[in-house]
């Protein structure tokens, strides 16, 4: 039921953190996984960890010309796409009153506009094959808001809304469109927190620990699998109980 | 009946699951043949593939009936 043998996946932001674990987990479940990201070396490392042939497709998601080549390249490399994971994301934090237009635009472009373009690009073949799984990696910040992250919150909430609208449109064609909203996940970024910061964060998390990238990857495998065939337009909140919604 | 019309009718019948007799010149995909807007997009995709042509969005919007499709595609492949 969770087997993905024969499925072809494209994962953006596969060079590190959550994206890398998602790519590895999809591959472990049997899928062929095309890896996209900006850092080729890191993508090659991911491919090595996967241990089977994984097309490496470098792409800068802030450049729409590049974005629009990504799906055709992935389809050419794998013969089609069954699973798209819009995982790539970036932050440019600033207080609202100080936020520059460029900081807003850049985050919306990478986190939301690129996902729109990629979603649109995979629809044609997914509609034709009457099967598709689109998964957007949102954030608890998109659901709850967070000071200093107006741009990021907007992009991540936008992803959820966009995916719900698309889920309506294509549900009758066997395509599901869902989002995962991770809470605080252990990463290079959270490693840099000092004890006091860490304590403050943990105080808001009933599970009293950070999540792991594997715990997000497992959710992605579930949503991509036949087990989740009747789930669409959903947002899976994976946050240790930090926001029970 | 032209070859183009036959090929278009075959696609419409298969895609919308309707009787071939209902696919007449003035038959509107949405009003008469039960298509929804997504079906209409898929029909255009199928036409593009069958006839190896590209149908721009503004032209696709004008294709409302079987007759519209046949006349557009007749010109396009002409």
- The packing angle between helices B37-51 and B3-16, to 10°, is 140
With an 8 Å Cβ cutoff, are B45 and A173 in contact?
no
Is the CB of residue B2 less than 8 Å from the CB of residue B69?
Answer: no
Which one of A124, A170, A172 has the shortest CB-CB distance to B45?
A124
Q: How far is A169 from chain B, CA to nearest CA, in Å?
A: 8
Which one of A124, A128, A169 has the shortest CB-CB distance to B38?
A169
What residues of chain B lie within 8 A of the CB of A127, using their CB?
38, 42, 45
Give the model's confidence band at B73: pLDDT under 50 very low, under 70 low, under 90 confident, else very high. very high
With an 8 Å Cβ cutoff, are B38 and A173 in contact?
yes
Core vs surface per residue A123-160: b (16+ CB within 10 A) or e: bebbbeeebbbbbbbbbbbbbbeeeebbbbbbbbbbbb
Q: How far is B15 from chain A, CA to nearest CA, in Å?
A: 11
Round to whole Å and give the CA distance between A31 and A81.
11
What single DSSP character describes residue A114? H
Q: Enumerate the β-bridge partners of residue A136.
A: A86, A179
> What is the per-residue pLDDT for A101?
98
> What is the per-residue pLDDT for A192?
82
**Interface probe, candidates A128, A129, A130, A167, chain B, greatest B C-beta count within 10 A:** A128
**Interface probe, candidates A121, A122, A124, chain B, greatest B C-beta count within 10 A:** A124
pLDDT exceeds 90 at position B23 = yes
Q: How far is A239 from chain B, CA to nearest CA, in Å?
A: 36
Q: How far is A172 from chain B, CA to nearest CA, in Å?
A: 10
The interface predicted TM-score (ipTM) is: 0.80
Closest CA to A170 of A125, A219, A114: A125
For residue B23, give both structure tokens.
């696919």
What residues of chain A lie within 8 A of the CB of B45, using their CB?
124, 127-128
Q: What's the pTM? A: 0.93
For residue A230, give both structure tokens.
């009747």
From B32, B36, B57, B68, active-site residue: B36
> What is the per-residue pLDDT for A61?
96
What residues of chain A lie within 8 A of the CB of B38, using their CB?
127, 169-170, 172-173
pLDDT exceeds 90 at position B78 = no
> What is the per-residue pLDDT for A16?
82
Q: What is the pLDDT of residues B26-72, one digit of tens each?
A: 999 999 999 999 999 999 999 999 999 999 999 999 999 999 999 99
The number of angstroms, rounded, from the C-alpha of B8 to the middle of its chain's C-alpha atoms is 6
What single DSSP character describes residue B22? G
Active site residue B36: yes
Does B57 touch chain A if contact means CB atoms closer than 8 Å?
no
What residues of chain A lie within 8 A of the CB of B42, using their CB?
127-128
For residue B61, give both structure tokens.
């919007």
Query: 3-state secondary structure string, A179-211?
Result: EEEECCECCHHHHCCCHHHHHHHHCCCCCCCCE
pLDDT exceeds 60 at position B1 = no
Mean pLDDT by 10 residues, chain A (245 residues): 97 94 98 97 96 95 97 97 97 96 98 98 94 97 95 98 98 97 88 88 95 98 98 98 95
From A10, A46, A135, A152, active-site residue: A152
The number of angstroms, rounded, from the C-alpha of A9 to the middle of its chain's C-alpha atoms is 12
What residues of chain B lie within 8 A of the CB of A169, using their CB?
38
């Amino acid at each position: 039921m969770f087997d993905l043998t024969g499925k072809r996946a494209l994962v953006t932001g596969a060079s590190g953190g959550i994206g890398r674990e998602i790519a590895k987990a999809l591959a472990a479940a049997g899928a062929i996984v095309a890896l996209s990201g900006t850092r080729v070396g890191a993508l090659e490392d991911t491919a090595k960890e996967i241990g089977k042939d994984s097309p490496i497709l470098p792409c800068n998601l802030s450049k729409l010309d590049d974005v629009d080549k990504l799906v055709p390249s992935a389809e050419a490399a794998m013969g089609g796409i069954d699973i798209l994971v819009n995982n790539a994301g970036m932050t440019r934090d600033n207080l609202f009153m100080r936020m520059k237009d460029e900081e807003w635009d850049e985050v919306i472009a990478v986190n939301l506009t690129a996902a729109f373009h990629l979603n649109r690009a995979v629809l044609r073949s997914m509609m034709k094959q009457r099967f598709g799984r689109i998964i957007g990696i949102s954030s608890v910040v998109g659901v709850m808001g967070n000071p200093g992250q107006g741009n990021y919150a907007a992009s991540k909430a936008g992803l959820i809304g966009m995916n719900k609208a698309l889920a309506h449109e294509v549900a009758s064609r066997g395509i599901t469109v869902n989002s995962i909203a991770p809470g605080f996940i252990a990463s290079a970024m959270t490693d840099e927190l000092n004890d006091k910061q860490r304590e403050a964060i943990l105080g808001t998390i009933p599970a009293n620990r950070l999540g792991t990238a594997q715990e997000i990857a497992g959710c992605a495998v579930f949503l991509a699998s036949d087990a989740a065939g009747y789930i669409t337009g959903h947002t899976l909140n994976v946050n240790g109980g930090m926001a029970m919604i | 009946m032209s070859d183009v019309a036959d090929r278009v009718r075959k696609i419409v019948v298969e895609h919308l699951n309707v009787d071939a007799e209902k696919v007449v010149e003035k038959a509107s995909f949405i009003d008469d043949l039960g298509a929804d807007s997504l079906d209409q997009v898929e029909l255009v995709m199928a036409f593009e593939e069958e006839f190896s042509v590209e149908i721009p969005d503004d032209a696709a919007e004008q294709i409302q009936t079987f007759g519209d499709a046949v006349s557009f595609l007749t010109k396009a492949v002409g």
